[in-house]
Amino acid sequence: MSKSVAVIGAGIGGLAIAIRLSLKGYQVTIFEKNSYAGGKLNQIEKDGFRFDTGPSLLTLPESVIELFELAKKDYRDYLEFTKLSSTCKYFYSDGTEINAYSEPEKFAEEIAEKTSDKKSDVLMFLDSNKRKYQLTSEIFIFNSLHKIKNYFKKEVINGIINIKDVDVFRTMNQANSTLFHDKKTIQIFNRYATYNGSNPYKAPATLNIISHLEHNEGAYIAKGGMYSIIKSLLDLCNQLSIKIEYNSNIEEIVTKNNKVIGLKIDNKIKEFNTVVNNMDVINTYKKLLPNYKVPNYLTNQEGSSSALIFYWSINRNFPKLDLHNILFSDNYKKEFDYIFTEKEIYKDPTVYIYISSKYNKSDAPDGMENWFVMINTPYNEDQDWDKLIDQSRKNIIKKINSFLKVDIEQNIISEEILDPRSIETKTSSYRGSLYGNSSNSKFSAFLRHPNFSNKIKGLFFCGGSVHPGGGIPLALASAKIVSQMFDKNH
């Protein structure tokens, strides 16, 4: 096998697999269609304000740190993480405010004080989710589900034996409504389904492990913003002599006799017999593999949600708001029905406000703030997005005004917008879905595309649209899985 490898896409998964393979002795070239790296994990700089464009929170920072350790580098020379004392501040229309403290005891006390639920039940819930994570992480996150031999590992066998404790047969809402009685508590824990673009009224309760990661393990912010993670990985790529070719118009993954032989870029073929694809998997089949059909099990699944994001430069400070804030809808069930069934946006959406300048003061001028204002939306099915954006903006402003008792429109001095159409254009995410397919079925984990092609020799897949899923830690886990496959296949 040739020691030259092509990686398609300089998102975090593409950078991670490039680093891992370079350290194994491969000559790696990354081909990126944009003029910048990072994919969804990017930034906007405008008039003294800086905004992270995508992921705004990090769990499992060791998944990033490991890349530097493999290169025998001290990650602290590149990157600085801070563990958050509170992961989010939740606001309800009746005036209740709940701080989701990172420390489990303090968080449980806060819920007991602000709701009718018990501290002991919150602690029991988090402890149960810790056990779920211990049972499932080796099965669903850190190993391929598509290699039979992996099912004979001790950790995997233990997870299968204890499958009932994984809680795959109930939905998140069913599990959360059984233990908790207060709508506010249930809403907080149901929200974790949105972390991979899913519906808590359909997704399995297994996804409650996400709350374990935030509250038992901790949530982090990076100094300089989330984009500093990409900057640090680019520095490492440069030191490893990994070549990145920006503005690359990749037209096809060229194959012959079901083997990769190269990439067609700007009507020229560059020869490679190994390619790792970090682009959205459905769009890869549709755009880069003309001789291969998209697998039916991918197109038959429900896509994950997308997002409408406003990046607002705000001309004053709001001490009432924290780094991460949620203004909840009064009818959470209806909001998800609109997103996943009606493929529309509910008139009373849950609003997420991320203000990185609360931590990174340089992200906004003195006395001002940078607001990342997001609502969950359906993926793009040719809805009238201009109309939806206009109406949603009015509904968001009305909601913020109600919660903060201000006219926020008067404080917005500039605005940028990201919607499902521009998400697909900029990141190649199929129909603008943020996480590939959703987890709205108990079988979803087994129906994600594997990290290798079983039809094309020399083609591998990483990133958020394939196993194990979306989000920074899982995209990095996919790169690790592919790297391990190279150990066994090359």
For the chain, give the number of residues.
490
Residue 440 belongs to a domain: no
pLDDT at 57 exceeding the cut of 90: yes
CATH number at residue 352: 3.30.519
Mean of pLDDT over the chain: 94
Alpha-carbon distance of 405 to 160, in angstroms, equals 52
Residue 311 belongs to a domain: yes
DSSP states along 291-350? TSPPPHHHHTSPBPPEEEEEEEEESS--TT--SEEEE--S-HHHHHHIIIII-S--SS--
CATH number at residue 230: 3.50.50.60
Q: Are 124 and 106 in contact (CB under 8 A)?
A: no
Q: Is the model more confident about 355 or about 150?
A: 355
Residue 439 belongs to a domain: no
Q: Are 200 and 110 within one domain?
A: yes
**Over the range 96-123, which residues count as b (16 or more CB within 10 Å of their CB) and which as e?**
eebbbbbebeebbebbbebbebbbebbb
Residue 477 Cα distances to 14, 27, 273, 484, angstroms: 12, 21, 24, 11
The residue assigned the tokens 């509250």 is 215
Q: Are 320 and 256 within one domain?
A: no
Average of per-residue pLDDT across 445-471: 90
Q: Are 228 and 199 within one domain?
A: no
Q: Are 266 and 343 within one domain?
A: no
Q: Are 414 and 320 within one domain?
A: yes
Residue 250 belongs to a domain: yes
Total tally of structural domains belonging to the chain: 3
Percent of all residues in the chain with a pLDDT value above 70, rounded to a whole number: 93
Q: Are 249 and 357 within one domain?
A: no
Q: Are 267 and 321 within one domain?
A: no
pLDDT at 443 exceeding the cut of 60: yes
Listed residues 152, 185, 213: the one ending a domain: 213
Q: Is the model more confident about 305 or about 297?
A: 305
Residue 203 belongs to a domain: yes
Q: Are 240 and 19 in contact (CB under 8 A)?
A: yes
Residue 323 Cα distances to 3, 212, 312, 365, angstroms: 45, 20, 15, 16
pLDDT at 300 exceeding the cut of 60: yes
Residue 322 belongs to a domain: yes
| pLDDT of 166 | 75
pLDDT at 237 exceeding the cut of 60: yes
Residue 278 belongs to a domain: yes
Q: Are 147 and 197 within one domain?
A: yes
**Tens digits of residue pLDDT in 274-299:** 999 999 999 999 999 999 999 998 99
Q: Are 321 and 410 within one domain?
A: yes
Q: Comparing 11-20, 137-146, 278-287, 370-379, which segment has the lowest mean pLDDT?
A: 137-146
Average of per-residue pLDDT across 428-437: 96
Q: Are 422 and 320 within one domain?
A: yes
Q: Are 326 and 350 within one domain?
A: yes
Domain span at 374: 305-427
Average of per-residue pLDDT across 347-369: 98
| pLDDT of 1 | 45
- pTM, entire model: 0.94
| pLDDT of 144 | 52
Listed residues 213, 240, 264: the one ending a domain: 213
Listed residues 190, 213, 236: the one ending a domain: 213
pLDDT band at 447 (very low <50, low <70, confident <90, very high): confident
pLDDT band at 446 (very low <50, low <70, confident <90, very high): low
Q: Are 204 and 232 within one domain?
A: no
**Tens digits of residue pLDDT in 165-203:** 678 899 999 999 999 999 999 999 999 999 999 999 999
DSSP states along 59-113? S-THHHHHHHHHTT--GGGT--EEE-SEEEEEE-TTS-EEEEESSHHHHHHHHHH
**Tens digits of residue pLDDT in 103-152:** 999 999 999 999 999 999 999 999 999 999 888 876 666 565 544 454 44
Residue 88 belongs to a domain: no
| pLDDT of 438 | 94
